[in-house]
């Protein structure tokens, strides 16, 4: 059957497949907690993180009180951006790590300014002065960095860009550790956590199919318990408590080290959170720390029968795929809106594509005519060239408003998460390389049968678009 037909008839965006994944072969499914099992109201959560960071910058790092007036805007940053701590810029890269959009403070940098600062447009992400926005938990950090750089540019006495970035990392980390963020979430949990009954239905369905479920989270036991009590317990039908649903709940796991290093598991007493050393193989229960190698070996599992689902492209997926060989699924919550926006802009996208199809052959034709002039040292094609240039100009005049119209639907500063112009974004490239499948939320996967065979689609290569670039001779003949 034609796969595109299935997609067209299905009302849901479903699960997107990079690499074939047969759920019948998967015996154990692991879940990250924050932004995977637990859905947040991300705008509210990041607004809280923004407020806490500002308070701590003033209290702990002696920043001027005027920073407290900086307003939060969830749209200021998106996932996949790169922060240049040294130069104070925020960048969006293409799949080849080339800079495609750049902001210094809250001002867009034009191509010339970018070229002046960066000798090569290609960024070496192994350079420690770059930070990446790998999770929605970094949106407030990236946005605030842009605002503080802007303030410094406007003459407010603030430290160097690099120190601003370090201070932000420090206050965000401290806000998470000292309870400034989590205590507020705990008190007003319904403002921050989205209950998802569909997700719990799906989890129990997978258990009925004999799948073993486990959690690996970097959050501590106390916070994990509060969130899972709130979001999972009320919807359970076949189980009394989330600790029965998940055979193993591994807290404070320190991912990505969990996937790459050998660490000991500590057994957590669920009553009071106290911990004891574990001197035997792990058995169902609640743990702290540990590592993927011991987990896989103690349970006598083959790495490829484990599927792990997370939202942190680096912490959950990239290291795991490189070091561990478990299968991977990524939650990209931005897709829920982006897929809708792609649908709503389909008409204008088609108009842009059709104008581009008219424009590209004209450009080839102009280049061929100019070449002929140069090679024959004549001006015989001059008139024709002028005519063609004016045709291209007319097409550009039609294209510009259409492109602007399309862009305005997506993030006003950065556009789509998965693309830069017509290229794939660096984030999309990582998703494609490291996530076997991806979806906007966990319930999209759990709605599918636990027997699903996810097949990857045929991916077009550059030469598949051959019709766009006709041979020069052919175009010259008109």
Could you list the residues that contact Mg ion (CB under 5 A)?
Answer: 32, 34-35, 311
Q: Which residue, 103 or 259, is less far from Mg ion as judged by CB?
A: 259
Residue among 42 and 411 whose Cβ is closer to Mg ion: 42
Q: How many CA atoms lie within 13 A of 367 on its CB side?
A: 11
Closest approach of Mg ion to the CB of residue 311, in Å? 4
* Residue 35 or 441 having the CB closest to Mg ion: 35
Q: Provide the sign of the torsion angle of the four alpha carbons 184, 185, 190, 192, taken in this order.
A: positive
Q: How far apart are CA 154 and CA 166, in angstroms?
A: 21
Separation in Å, CA 349 to CA 17, 46, 357: 23, 32, 12
Output the smallest distance, CB 215 to Mg ion, in A.
Answer: 11
Minimum distance from residue 174 beta carbon to Mg ion (Å): 20
CB nearer to Mg ion: pick between 103 and 246: 246
Closer by beta carbon to Mg ion, 34 or else 416 = 34
For the CB of residue 166, give the shortest distance to Mg ion in the complex, in Å: 23
Report in angstroms how near the CB of residue 361 gets to Mg ion at its nearest: 47
Give min distance, CB of 317 to Mg ion, in A: 10
Nearer to Mg ion, 147 or 224 (CB): 224
Residue whose C-beta lies closest to Mg ion = 34
């Amino acid at each position: 059957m034609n796969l595109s037909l299935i997609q067209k008839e299905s009302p849901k965006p479903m699960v997107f497949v990079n690499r074939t994944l047969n759920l019948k072969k998967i015996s154990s499914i692991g879940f990250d907690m924050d932004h995977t099992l637990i859905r947040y109201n991300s705008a509210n959560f990041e607004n809280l993180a923004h407020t806490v960071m500002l308070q701590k910058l003033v209290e702990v790092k002696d920043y001027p009180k005027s920073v407290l007036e900086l307003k939060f805007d969830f749209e200021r940053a998106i996932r996949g951006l790169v922060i240049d701590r040294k130069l104070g810029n925020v960048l969006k890269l293409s799949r080849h790590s080339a800079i495609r959009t750049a902001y210094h403070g809250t001002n867009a940098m034009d191509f010339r300014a970018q070229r002046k600062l960066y000798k090569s447009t290609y960024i070496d992400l192994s350079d420690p002065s770059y930070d990446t926005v790998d999770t929605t938990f970094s949106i407030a950090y990236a946005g605030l960095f842009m605002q503080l750089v802007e303030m410094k540019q406007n003459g407010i006495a603030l430290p160097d860009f690099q120190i601003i970035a370090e201070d932000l990392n420090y206050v965000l980390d401290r806000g998470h550790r000292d309870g400034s963020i989590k205590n507020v979430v705990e008190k007003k949990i319904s403002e921050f956590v989205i209950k998802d009954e569909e997700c719990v239905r799906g989890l129990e369905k997978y258990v009925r199919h004999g799948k073993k479920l486990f959690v690996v989270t970097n959050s501590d036991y106390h916070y994990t318990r509060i969130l899972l009590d709130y979001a999972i317990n009320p919807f359970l039908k076949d189980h009394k408590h989330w600790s029965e649903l998940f055979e193993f709940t591994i807290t404070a796991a320190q991912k990505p080290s969990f996937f790459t290093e050998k660490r000991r598991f500590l057994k957590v007493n669920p009553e009071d959170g106290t911990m004891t050393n574990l001197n035997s193989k792990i058995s169902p229960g609640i743990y702290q720390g540990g590592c993927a190698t011991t987990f896989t070996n103690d349970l006598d599992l083959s790495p490829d029968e484990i599927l792990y689902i997370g939202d942190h492209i680096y912490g959950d997926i990239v290291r795991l795929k490189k070091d561990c060989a478990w299968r991977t699924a990524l939650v990209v919550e931005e897709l829920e809106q982006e897929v809708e926006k792609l649908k709503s802009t389909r008409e204008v996208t088609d108009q842009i594509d059709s104008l581009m199809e008219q424009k590209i052959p004209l450009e080839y034709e102009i280049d061929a005519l100019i070449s002929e002039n140069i090679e024959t040292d004549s001006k015989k094609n001059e008139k024709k060239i002028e005519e063609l240039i004016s045709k291209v100009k007319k097409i550009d005049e039609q294209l510009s408003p259409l492109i602007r119209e399309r862009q305005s639907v997506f993030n006003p500063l950065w556009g789509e998460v998965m693309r830069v112009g017509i290229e794939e974004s660096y984030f999309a490239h990582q998703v494609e390389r490291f996530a076997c499948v991806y979806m906007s939320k966990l319930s999209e996967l759990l709605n599918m049968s636990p027997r699903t065979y996810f097949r990857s689609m045929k991916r077009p290569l550059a030469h598949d678009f051959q019709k766009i670039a006709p041979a020069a001779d052919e175009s010259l003949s008109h």
